[in-house]
Amino acid sequence: MDSAASVAGAPPAVPPAVLCAAEEALAATESVGDHLAEMLAAAAEDPDAIAELPPLQRARAFLAVAHAATSLFSGKGMRLLPI
């Protein structure tokens, strides 16, 4: 026997629900990273696009970018802002 986990009938070390949640979190993080990169590229092409937004929407856009970047760098989940 290699380990105690290989004993027949022993529960897995990490529950399947935890693995599933971790995989979903990873997929969501990658998606946020992709969308953030697209948004920043679009903003670089037309810097006036954000400037033309009404002040509240402009603030929400900057806050969403800040939340996304913070979530990616900290490794924590991101809460979506209501729009």
Q: Is the pLDDT of residue 76 over 70?
A: no
Q: Is the pLDDT of residue 31 over 80?
A: yes
Q: Where are the domains of the chain?
A: 12-74
Dist CA 30 CA 21 (whole Å): 14
Dist CA 53 CA 12 (whole Å): 52
User: Looking at per-residue confidence, does 33 or 18 come out higher?
Assistant: 18
pLDDT value at position 83?
45
Q: Is the pLDDT of residue 36 over 90?
A: no
pLDDT value at position 79?
53
Q: What is the amino acid identity at position 5? A: A
Dist CA 43 CA 65 (whole Å): 11
Q: Which residues contact 55 (CB under 8 A, 6 or more apart)?
A: none
